[in-house]
Amino acid sequence: HALEHDLGEALALGQLDLHYQPIVDCPTGRLVGFEALARWHHPVRGPVSPAEFVPVAEECGLILPLGRWALETACAEAATWPSAACIAVNLSPAQFRQPGLPQLVADVLRSTGLPADRLELEVTEGLLVDDTDRALAALAAIKRLGVRLALDDFGTGYASLSYLRRFPFDRIKIDRSFVKGLVCDADATAIVTAILALARSLQLGVTAEGVETERHLALLRAEGCQRAQGFLLGRPVPATRIRELLAVAP
């Protein structure tokens, strides 16, 4: 696989980059954190989306060095911010198959000096499907460090509700496919409203993803959504832009 070869090289040469997408507090609009998103500008192909290269990395094992790089880079970056903004980092299910993941997280927190409560790790339901007991043990060990856990892409899988009961998540992130239909699509609106009620009754934090319009945001506010993320509130930006965003934050 040519992409696999090039990705290995890009990682070794430090050619991958992280961008950071703002996350805001819904009621106040205050900037409360960023999600780190991997970016790859291929010298010949141009920009390659993580939706394309993350699955390739998962297949060929490169996800372990890539995941480690993303975690280290994002935590080191967040440790320099002039505020207590949180940093959310995506973890791939494959990273949980290495026994040392909780230790890696602990090592990165120590070496970067980032307080554990400023780190949030995002996992998808895929993690919870194949090796539930092992995933549960790793998540519990990570939580004991004081790191928060978010269930990403919520609503797209099939056993979400049982997972919410069994696993120690602090937050769910509503998948942007539902947010996209807010207001216009009655079914999508009903699903978002139901997820917000569920989060409230389980005392989980909730972030709506893919917020693109003022009408999305207004409806989410009215329904009591806690946090929001999406192009309306800010596109992913390079690390060099974060300081100005934090400086002007309301």
Binding residues (CB under 5 A) for Na ion: these are 152-153, 209
Buried b (16+ CB within 10 A) or exposed e, 188-216: bbebbbebbebbeeeebebbbbbbeeeeb
In angstroms, give the least distance from the CB of 156 to Na ion.
8
Q: Which stretch binds Mn ion (CB under 5 A): 52-60, 108-116, 121-129, 221-229?
A: 121-129
Which residue number places its CB atom closest to Na ion?
Answer: 153
Q: Does 209 bind ligand G (CB under 6 A)?
A: yes
Q: Which is nearer to ligand G, 102 or 230 (CB)?
A: 230
The site map against ligand G for 179-208 (x = CB under 6 A) is ------------------------------
The verdict on 77 binding Mn ion (CB under 5 A) reads no
Closest distance of CB 152 from ligand G, Å: 5
Residue of 8, 50, 65, 205 interacting with ligand G (CB under 6 A): 50
Closer of 70 and 138 to ligand G (Cβ): 70
- Counted residue by residue, the chain has a size of 250
**Pair of tokens at residue 94:** 């494959």
Q: Name the one range near Mn ion by CB under 5 A: 21-29, 73-81, 104-112, 118-126.
A: 118-126
32 near ligand G, judged by CB under 6 A? no
CA distance 185 to 208: 16
Determine the Cα angle at 123 with ends 120 and 128, to 5°.
Answer: 135
Count of residues near ligand G by CB under 6 A? 21
Q: Which does 92 bind (CB under 5 to 8 A by kind): ligand G, Mn ion, Na ion, none?
A: ligand G
User: What is the contact mask toward ligand G in residues 128 to 147, using x (rule: CB under 6 A)?
Assistant: --------------------
- Binding Mn ion by CB under 5 A: which of 152, 179, 192, 196? 152
Sign of CA dihedral 239, 17, 54, 137: negative
Q: β-strand 31-42 against 86-90: which pairing, if any?
A: parallel
Q: Footprint of ligand G on this chain (CB under 6 A)?
A: 21, 37-38, 49-51, 54, 67, 70, 90, 92, 152-153, 176, 209-212, 230-231, 236
Q: Footprint of Mn ion on this chain (CB under 5 A)?
A: 90, 122, 152
